[in-house]
A and B are shown apart, each in its own frame.
Chain A
């Protein structure tokens, strides 16, 4: 298993180094336009939020996997974990607002000891939709997780799980040796309790992201391939495939630089800039919360340490919907990944 950038004391483990890298080089030299210049040219600068619909809460960076492209730099060595007290603050906000979706992510969120409490409380206070971003293998990582499928079912959780390809080779190269096989086993367990079955109402979505320095293809066409292949070879059912463009930060940024693909990848993102994707970018309807309760415009900004504008609130303890709705969204060059081609978000393509 590879180690996190954090464990290797890699310079890209420092958030400010990543921001520096993205702000300099080809963008500073003017070879490529900055994201600000680009959205200004189509009258979207400053980028303003729409109605807040999704509360994406990252409850810790600990994970049983170490994927090569991970934007969180998650892994078994990461100890950052959200406390029950901070979770309670998130629940208070959800109870007082019209935010309809709680999107729980990590790391492997299930590894947080208060994960089940958090889900159960969210359900109890009537949160309309609860999403858990599960890496699948966690379900089989330890006997204490074996009952997760029934726990998810009991709480009507929507599962979103990464599976970059419908075959072992590409999947394992990105996510680690044996991950595909274990993921398939986990998917079977989820299918067994009804997930991904049309009539059950239990939603199981898969998340596709490219296994290299290229953009995702058409979401519907890839979904069709995934459905056919997973059904034919493993008898697995799922609801939708969500395509996500890899964001050039953290371990994926490291991969781009190390493989000599950085400049070309950024150029590709810039050239694929689609103005029609801008209104649908997720930072416009989402707030991201980190393990300490800090607020960000998205999970990627969280990993870069780019908090919500200081003119708005920056911590869950002084959450203020009114001020947040008036904020300017914080942007940098990584944002080009969300506006390339059909656009990209945690809910898949947007345009």
Chain B
């Protein structure tokens, strides 16, 4: 391998190559993908911002690259993009903290 890191930005453009080893499933996936991002009850910009937030949640560098650009193209503001990431962060942090209730229940049960 010419690149000694796990991630290479040039690989993003090769996403479509997953079809090389299974054309049928790739076609189904990309069809679905395309449909998902079409304007529906949610605007294309709203979907792009959700994708940006999820990209940060799953910490996918390819997705962060792609949806930063896509959000800008769809007319999102930089502040709006940061707000989307805070939504992801809040849910992530909240998800840990709300499990605190489980911890408290268990601790209360075990304790005198």
Which A residues are closer than 8 A to B by beta carbons?
A: 165, 167, 169-170, 210, 212, 214-218, 221-222, 225
Contact = CB atoms under 8 A, between A and B. Distances in A.
Nearest to B69: A214
What 5 A-B pairs are tightest by C-beta distance, nearest first? Answer: A217-B73, A217-B74, A214-B72, A214-B73, A222-B75
A225 B72 contact: no
A215 B75 contact: no
Contacts of B73: 210, 214-217
A31 to B, nearest CB: 12
Contact of B77 (A169, A212, A217, A218): A169
Contacts of A216: 73
B77 A225 contact: no
Interface stretch (B26-34, B37-45, B81-89): B37-45
B45 A225 contact: yes
A221 B77 contact: no
B69 A225 contact: no
Interface of B: 39, 43-45, 69, 72-75, 77-78
Q: Taking chain B's interface residues, is the majority helix, strand, or loop, or is none over half, making it mixed?
A: helix
A85 B45 CA distance: 50
B44 A217 contact: yes
**Max chain A Cβ within 10 angstroms of own Cβ: one of B39, B69, B73:** B73
A222 B69 CA distance: 16
B77 A210 contact: no
A169 B78 CA distance: 10
A221 B43 contact: yes
Contacts of B44: 217-218, 221
B45 to A, nearest CB: 7
Given A221-B39, A221-B45, A170 B77 contact: yes
Given A212-B72, A221-B45, 9 more contacts: A167-B77, A210-B72, A210-B73, A214-B72, A217-B45, A217-B75, A222-B75, A225-B45, A225-B75
Nearest to B68: A214
Nearest to B39: A221
A221 B45 CA distance: 9
Contacts of B45: 217, 221, 225
Nearest to B48: A217
Contacts of A169: 77-78
Contacts of B75: 165, 217, 221-222, 225
Contact of A221 (B69, B72, B74, B78): B74
Contacts of A214: 69, 72-73
A167 B74 CA distance: 15
B80 to A, nearest CB: 10
Contacts of B39: 221
**Max chain A Cβ within 10 angstroms of own Cβ: one of B39, B74, B78:** B74
21 contacts: A167-B77, A169-B78, A170-B77, A210-B72, A210-B73, A212-B72, A214-B69, A214-B72, A214-B73, A216-B73, A217-B44, A217-B45, A217-B73, A218-B44, A218-B74, A221-B39, A221-B43, A221-B45, A221-B75, A222-B75, A225-B45
A217 B78 CA distance: 16
A8 to B, nearest CB: 28
Contacts of B43: 221
A167 B77 CA distance: 9
Contacts of B69: 214
A216 B44 CA distance: 13
B38 to A, nearest CB: 11
A16 to B, nearest CB: 32
A170 B78 CA distance: 9
